[in-house]
Amino acid sequence: MTTLDIDDKQLLIADVEVGTETLLFRMQDGRKIEAPLWWYPNLFAASPEDRKKWQILPFGDAVGWEDLDEYISAKALIIGAAAPGAKPPAEAAE
């Protein structure tokens, strides 16, 4: 079994950018981690105004959109963990 060994310092988020198609975490160590927005259906369906209402959570390793009840950790983005049931827009339209 393989495990992902990540130093907690590597998980500290400095900033977040939510576009129309992507979610970007800017990490304190300078890295950028990006994922397709459709991985997180609550965010994908939210208005641009609601997407802007994020906050970095107290430990610095996750972001929350309280009004949307959406919380995403840096580790989830790093390992490519989409929300359960997330489907690409083309599949969702079928």
Q: Is 3 among the domain residues?
A: no
Q: How many domains does the chain have?
A: 1
35-80 tens-digit pLDDT: 999 999 999 999 999 999 999 999 999 999 999 999 999 999 889 9
Provide the residue range defining the domain that includes 40: 13-81
Question: The whole model's pTM is what?
Answer: 0.83
Q: Is 94 among the domain residues?
A: no
Report d(CA 65, CA 24) in Å as an integer.
Answer: 14
- Contact (Cβ atoms closer than 8 angstroms) between residue 10 and residue 29: yes
Q: Which distant-in-sequence residues (6+ apart) come within 8 Å of 4 by Cβ?
A: 75, 78, 79
Q: Is 38 among the domain residues?
A: yes
Q: Is 61 among the domain residues?
A: yes
